[in-house]
Amino acid sequence: MNWGSFSAFLHMGGYAFYVWSSFGLSFALLAFELVQLSLRKRTLLKRLGQIQKLNEHRGNK
């Protein structure tokens, strides 16, 4: 174990800003990609549902 205390861990030997920004932003970006993908899936399914409805509507006619 490298760190004497939790605050030492957070302090990162004086490089807290750089280290945490790097890791934080990186994982935030990965998470953002996942969120964006699931949003895209949701809108796509909605649109497919609409197409479906439209087709049924036409079929009934």
Single out the residue of 13, 31, 35, 46 in contact with other proteins (rule: CB under 8 A).
13
Name residues whose C-beta falls within 8 Å of residue 17's C-beta, 6 or more positions apart in sequence.
Answer: none
Binding mask 23-52 for other proteins (x = CB under 8 A): x-xx--xx--xx--x--xx--xx-xxx-xx
Among 6, 18, 60, 61, binds other proteins (CB under 8 A): 18
Q: How far is the CB of 59 from other proteins (least distance, A)?
A: 10
Round to whole Å and give the CA distance between 32 and 35: 5
